Amino acid sequence: AASVVYEAENAAIVNGVVESEHAGYSGTGFVNSANAVGPAVEFTVQAEAAGSTDLAFRYANGGTAARPATLTVNGATHSTPRFAATGAWTTWSNETVSATLNAGANVIRITATTSGGLANIDALTVGAPPGDGPIAD
């Protein structure tokens, strides 16, 4: 099924920088947030129609603890994804949720809730990933 990748390096970044020192990212880099409560990455994404869709945050967490965040969709709290440790900063994984989007623009934000800050954030894929559904990719 169709999906669209939004690179974190093109998102609005609060208290973080774009880096590329850890291999395996898509696009031109990833966001390294400060190790603190409050850094955020905010994506503005487009939906063709209102409805439920998959949001997959691609990230790496080479630390020993999870790096939880508050996920908001259009300003409303959606969930608190964990961003569990991945074992290395070069090991990337996806934290995936289902969310209801509006037709048109939607603002999707993750904000760090612990002193570790966010995991390194590579990208947000909106929609089921290729090969995941009955409609040709």
| Smallest distance from ligand GCU to CB 32, Å | 4
Among candidate residues 23, 28, 36, 33, the one with its CA nearest the CA of residue 88? 23
Would you count residue 6 as binding ligand GCU (CB under 6 A)?
Answer: no
Among candidate residues 97, 98, 89, the one with its CA nearest the CA of residue 118? 89
CA distances from residue 126 to 49, 106, 130, 134 in whole angstroms, order as listed:
13, 11, 11, 17
| Smallest distance from ligand GCU to CB 69, Å | 13
Would you count residue 93 as binding Ca ion (CB under 5 A)?
Answer: no
Pick the closer one to ligand GCU by CB: 6 or 89.
89
CA 37 to chain centre: 17
- Residues numbered 15-34 forming contacts with ligand GCU, rule: CB under 6 A: 22, 32
Pick the closer one to ligand GCU by CB: 120 or 125.
120
Whether the CB-CB separation of 82 and 119 falls below 8 Å is answered with no
Judged by beta carbon distances under 5 to 8 A according to partner kind, the member of ligand GCU, Ca ion, none in contact with residue 53 is none
